[in-house]
């Protein structure tokens, strides 16, 4: 997973720009106006987004038209996908564990509320 995607989106105004561009490409001026940013700051943020590959630009006469790029979001999506799988597994494991615990609880009272106390340290 490319970290620059995260750092690009970690800035509030940049995230706002991205969400604005969701409605379609826009030139710098329109972005600055709608988000109430100074034009230079808008340009600077767009530069960062451009370098991060989140956005592409297309020159149209005087205007520079900024448009969302799909790739980084797809990468993000793929990254998340691996997490989803693991969660499903873990959720099942947790359910099993709680099931056993519930039964056990009727007898002893040791380790109440504990989860995964079988951690091993390979120092």
Partner DNA sequence: TAACAATATTCCTTGACAGGAATATTCCAT
Partner DNA sequence: ATGGAATATTCCTGTCAAGGAATATTGTTA
- State the virtual CA torsion across 15, 18, 20, 26 in degrees, nearest 10: 140
Q: Which does 39 bind (CB under 5 to 8 A by kind): DNA, a second copy, none?
A: DNA
Beta bridge partners of 60: 63
Q: Which does 105 bind (CB under 5 to 8 A by kind): a second copy, DNA, none?
A: none
Of 48 and 101, CB closest to DNA = 48
Of 40 and 114, CB closest to a second copy = 114
* Radius of gyration, CA atoms only, the chain: 24
Measured from the CB of residue 37, what is the shortest distance to a second copy in angstroms? 15
Binding site for a second copy (CB under 8 A): 1, 3, 6-7, 9-12, 15, 22, 24-27, 29-30, 33, 58, 60, 63, 65, 67, 70, 73, 76-77, 80, 82-84, 86-87, 90, 114-117, 119, 121-123
Nearest to 30 by CA among 64, 68, 70, 69: 64
Q: Residue with structure tokens 């020159």?
A: 59
Q: Which does 45 bind (CB under 5 to 8 A by kind): a second copy, DNA, none?
A: DNA
CA distance 4 to 62: 29
Q: How far is CA 21 from the centre of its chain?
A: 17
Of 70 and 103, CB closest to a second copy = 70
């Amino acid at each position: 997973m490319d970290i620059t995607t995260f750092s690009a989106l970690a800035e509030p105004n940049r995230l706002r720009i991205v969400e604005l561009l969701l409605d379609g490409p826009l030139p710098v001026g329109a972005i600055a106006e709608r988000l109430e940013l100074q034009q230079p700051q808008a340009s600077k943020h767009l530069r960062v987004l451009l370098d991060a590959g989140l956005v592409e630009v297309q020159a149209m006469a005087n205007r520079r038209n900024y448009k969302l790029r799909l790739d980084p979001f797809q990468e993000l999506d793929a990254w998340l996908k691996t997490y989803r799988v693991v969660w499903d597994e873990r959720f099942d494991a947790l359910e099993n564990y709680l099931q056993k615990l519930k039964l056990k609880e009727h007898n002893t009272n040791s380790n109440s509320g504990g989860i995964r106390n079988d951690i091993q340290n390979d120092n």
